[in-house]
Structure 1
Amino acid sequence: MTETEVTYSRSESYSRRGRRVRQSRQPLFNEEFQHHMPKTKVMPSLLWSLVLSLLSVANPLLTSFATNMQSQDLYAGFAMHAGQSPYGQFFGTSGVLYYLLVYVGSSFGTTLGLVVLHWLVLSAAGIYFYKICSYFSQSSRVSSRLQTWFYLFILALSVGGVQASLFALPFVIAGLWFLLRYFERATRDEGFILYGVYGAIAFLIYPKSILLWVVSSLVLTIYNTNQRQFARGVYQALATIFGFLLIVYSVGYYTFVEQVLGAAIQQTFFYEFALNISYSGILWTLAQIFLFLLLSGFLKNLLQLFVSMGQGKWVYFKVLVVMAFAVQLLFLIADGHFELSHLVILLPYGFIMGLIELSSSVSNEEFLAKKMAHYSYLQSHIYLPLLAVLLLLVVKPVVTYVMTNDVMQERQEVSRYIKENSESSDTIYAWDDSAQIYLQSERLSAGEILTATPYLDSKANQDGLTFDLNKNKARYIVVNTQVALLDRVKSNIESNYEKVDLGTSQLTLYEKKE
């Protein structure tokens, strides 16, 4: 053998060895994935998102209909523009990025920017949701109909929007879409940097959304172990951590500047991840959640997918979705401050579970097409989802409006008096179950905790609010007679404030004595 032949043989051997190493690190990229994807329809998402955004309480014409938590989030934008920071000057359990988005959306003295942000967020969520449904169903018709139900449930659960879980939704669904592509070998390991970025953004908006990333770390570990690709798993974990920290450090720098890092960690982690199953309203919480799961069809989807989890295709993705749904549900039940709007975070899991169970057992594309041609989410759940939407979208808002109409009018009257008889630098306090009085009077709160609900169930918060009010910095204090008043606060009001007679029956206004 000549020297040239020996050199060629060695180089060919090295080349083959290099290819084997690369293949061991990165399996063959599934180029067929895109061929099985129906074309994504973007326009329905844009139109549905526009409708829901215009109906948001961020719309200045609808702000007075905001719920307690929605009004507190709107107040956050107003307070931040006045120079205050979340966690320090006002209590907040949402992520720092959410408050920064509210701040940007409330620029120029109007909340119209929040309407635009709503539109962008909901559009992205709908597009990613459509992609997942299209892959499993291989049907544009089925995907479009499920997308319609997806938006209807968002509208019904989150009447008026403006909540952290809604803003985190597109990043949660984008995370699910990435994991689906990974299990189908349609994404490369470098993509885990983007997966980490999705997780960081979702976490910094709505801390509970990180539960998907926690669950997926376990499922991915099992998957990579079974595939005998431990080194790849380590590389993926490092890539995810890098993407996560890249965003966390960038956004978290704000908490360093404002010197509220400790308070931010305490308020978000303590209230979002503390499990409490002994609070007084847990039975009512369980009843609401069970009724929603039953009527929405999610309970049926969960049970069917759980039974067939080890059968058919997409086994690891099935396990991931069921575990993420169950863990998220557990933290919602044990939250202690449950509202129906919190269920928005369950929507992508609930719909996807039903679709996976339906299509995973079909291996032939022709059979799948025939099966999906007759599929109707509404009929498959005996029209119960329609009842759920009607109850949430019609009955609940109407009942709420009838019960709160009088107090809404009194809030407007009291706010008008405060605005006309105080300086913009004066602070007030509203012992109420809404932060509307601050927004309508354009006055900041004298207490870190804005309203008497829902965070006064702990002694630490009661002591903190009592301390703030005992400083007597509030020019006016408004008391909702339907909300229980702490004895120490009542004693302080009687000693240092005098009643202003406005002829209101549900709200009592007190002015600080000269």
Structure 2
Amino acid sequence: MSQYSEDNTLQSGSYQGYHRSHHQSHANDEKQDEKIEVAIQGHTNESSSSLKDKAPITAIPWKHKSHILILSLILSIFSISVPCFTDFANSMQSQNLYIAKMFANGSLPYSDFFTTGGFFYYFLVSLAFRLGSTLWLIPIQFLTYYLSGSFLYKTVMHMTSKKEIATFISFIFFVINGTLGFGGLYPIQFAMPFVLGAIFFLTRYFAGHSRDEAFILYGLAGTAGSFFEARTLIFWILSLVTIFVYNLVNKHFFRGFYQVLCIIFGNILVLYLCLYFILNLQITSDYINQVLIYSFTHLAVENNDYLLTLVYQIFAVLGSGLLIGAVTTGNHLLGEAKDKSIKWVLLISFVFTVVYSLFSRSFGLYSILNIVPYGLVLTALSLDDATKKRAERTSHRRRNVSQIHALKVFGIFLSRNYFLPILVFAFAFAMPIIMFLFNLENNAERSTVANYIVKKTKKDETIYVYDSTAKIYLDSGRKSASQFVLPELNTAKSSHKKAISDTLIQDSAQYIVVQENTRLPSDVKSTLSKNYKKVSMKGIERYTLYVLK
């Protein structure tokens, strides 16, 4: 019940009491009013004293909730966790699946395999393998998509109070995940509910509509999100600094101390569980080096041409429509809005995160997913400004802009981005399908090679595959001889490339598979010619299989 409703209830009771005791003097009535005011102030504690304005309505209407449900279900069904869609997986997705599968079979991420995904991510995917099928990931992905879409809708509603913009932004969220993040199973997608939930909470908090006790959930979300995707720490650190400065400027010293205690308590609830496993598995130092240090000190994810990928990623970010919000939110940052603090956090998080996307040295569009939570909220603010300006230009009297249709919002979004989103989304949706058709024969040969390896090797023997996907590893179930599963992932650092060569020249792999036209290091070529021999296989033209002599 809001403070206004409490006022009305208490005043109504006072009015009835006046009729029951009409013989009391006017002085007694004034005293009674003073008691009522004191009672109200006593009922409202310090953490809710800032709830001066009525909170905007952010409840999701059933019609829009059903849209979020349906789109979440569609994206979950068309996931690479579904066996018939596994061949659509790119190098990053297939490697993540393989590492999780090996984790379920007793190998360890971080110590046996180099990876930057969070512990919770691999634990969750490996749990599906332990249960017998990756189909168990469908309800989990459905839940993450649904919660993310819901929190995003509520955040936009809180900032703009326009259902049409909130509906459109949530729709674009699913379009981006269905195109740029086709197939799902990226760590950031599992972390998005925690990030968007925290954005919604902070939006309400800085506007004076959240209680301090909710910082327990904020701390819990921050830690959980970080253990899925470490780079979300950029947002968590920036938001923590902003909260500290906000309390310092407003002289909320005791309140800020109480919030810190709540955040620490929320952190402990997750940290204790996660650190228990990490410490027992003895992967602490590897986890810190790979997930925390390497993720934040190296921008490159793959090892493609620097300039080509930079131009490619710049075009993708521009065409996605996420950049326009970041460059047009100046009036929201310098105005008198109570929630401008969270908008600063979103903008700075966007700037830092987009750097990782632009310099990923990858032709994969999945790196853009990291900027989605911040970019979409900023885009909503930009669309809100645009709809207001358009309404002012088209009418002498100021119209009720909240009545603008969602299709008009879509038109504004496209026109402000020169219709590039259509091109980018269509390209991103078509690429996995084109690559799947292009690789039909490659995948057939990969399956044949994997079946041969299964027959000719023991479970504890290792192999290495020079390929763009981890399909041979997945189908054979054999462990990679090198910590770096695929030669083009996380190997932009020269020492990582050398680590692969050093492993192979020690004859640690029973079989080595080389895709045609692969450029091998000279020392690996020498090792193959001296210590390995080619295996003749019928119907295999695109791969060469070497076995240890």
Note the C-alpha offset of 1:228.
Answer: 2.4
Q: 1:245 to 1:484 in 2, by over 3 A?
A: farther
Preserved CA contact (<8 Å) 2:104 2:127: no
1:309 aligns to what SS in structure 2?
A: helix
User: 1 CA distance for matches of 2:298 and 2:42?
Assistant: 48
TM-score with structure 2 setting the length:
0.83
Q: Which has the larger radius of gyration?
A: 2
Picking from 416, 420, 428, the partner of 2:455 is 420
| Structure 1 match to 2:88 | 65
Picking from 301, 306, 309, the partner of 1:285 is 309
User: 2 CA distance for matches of 1:24 and 1:110?
Assistant: 51
TM-align CA RMSD: 3.2
> Structure 2, unaligned stretches of length 5 or more?
1-33, 389-397
Preserved CA contact (<8 Å) 2:310 2:359: no
- Describe the superposition over 1:153-200 as per-residue Cα deviations: whole angstroms up to 9, x where unpaired: 111101111111111111111110111110121111121111011111
| Structure 2 match to 1:198 | 221
Q: 1:149 to 1:468 in 2, by over 3 A?
A: same
| Structure 2 match to 1:3 | none
| Structure 1 match to 2:356 | 331
> Structure 1, unaligned stretches of length 5 or more?
1-11
Picking from 142, 149, 152, the partner of 2:172 is 149
| Structure 2 match to 1:131 | 154
TM-score with structure 1 setting the length:
0.88
Picking from 394, 405, 412, the partner of 1:379 is 412
| Structure 2 match to 1:455 | 490
1:305 equivalent to 2:332? Answer no
Preserved CA contact (<8 Å) 1:155 1:393: yes
User: 2 CA distance for matches of 1:149 and 1:25?
Assistant: 36
User: 1 CA distance for matches of 2:160 and 2:455?
Assistant: 60
Greater Cα shift, 114-123 or 252-261: 114-123
Preserved CA contact (<8 Å) 1:433 1:483: no
1:243 equivalent to 2:266? Answer yes
User: 1 CA distance for matches of 2:424 and 2:362?
Assistant: 22
User: 2 CA distance for matches of 1:50 and 1:29?
Assistant: 37
Q: 1:36 to 1:242 in 2, by over 3 A?
A: closer
Q: 1:489 to 1:277 in 2, by over 3 A?
A: closer
1:411 equivalent to 2:409? Answer no
- Describe the superposition over 1:12-52 as per-residue Cα deviations: whole angstroms up to 9, x where unpaired: 99x97996898556524357215465546432222111111
User: 2 CA distance for matches of 1:335 and 1:373?
Assistant: 34
User: 2 CA distance for matches of 1:374 and 1:451?
Assistant: 44
Note the C-alpha offset of 1:440.
Answer: 1.3
User: 2 CA distance for matches of 1:62 and 1:380?
Assistant: 32
2:468 aligns to what SS in structure 1?
A: coil
Q: 1:148 to 1:371 in 2, by over 3 A?
A: closer
* 1:66-465 equivalent positions in 2, closer than 5 A: 66-276=89-299, 281-306=305-330, 308-311=332-335, 313=337, 314-335=339-360, 339-359=364-384, 367-370=400-403, 375-382=408-415, 383-394=419-430, 396-401=431-436, 403-465=438-500
Preserved CA contact (<8 Å) 2:219 2:263: yes
Preserved CA contact (<8 Å) 2:165 2:383: no
Q: 1:497 to 1:322 in 2, by over 3 A?
A: same
Identity over aligned pairs, percent: 27
User: 2 CA distance for matches of 1:478 and 1:217?
Assistant: 48
User: 2 CA distance for matches of 1:220 and 1:440?
Assistant: 49
Preserved CA contact (<8 Å) 1:37 1:138: no
- Describe the superposition over 1:402-423 as per-residue Cα deviations: whole angstroms up to 9, x where unpaired: 5434432321221122223333
User: 2 CA distance for matches of 1:268 and 1:360?
Assistant: 39
User: 2 CA distance for matches of 1:89 and 1:457?
Assistant: 19
Preserved CA contact (<8 Å) 1:378 1:386: no
Count of aligned positions: 501
1:44 partner amino acid:
H
1:185 aligns to what SS in structure 2?
A: coil
Note the C-alpha offset of 1:207.
Answer: 0.2
- Describe the superposition over 1:369-427 as per-residue Cα deviations: whole angstroms up to 9, x where unpaired: 24567741343322432222112112x22443354344323212211222233333332
Preserved CA contact (<8 Å) 2:169 2:380: no
User: 1 CA distance for matches of 2:517 and 2:38?
Assistant: 78
Q: 1:339 to 1:36 in 2, by over 3 A?
A: closer
User: 2 CA distance for matches of 1:374 and 1:66?
Assistant: 33
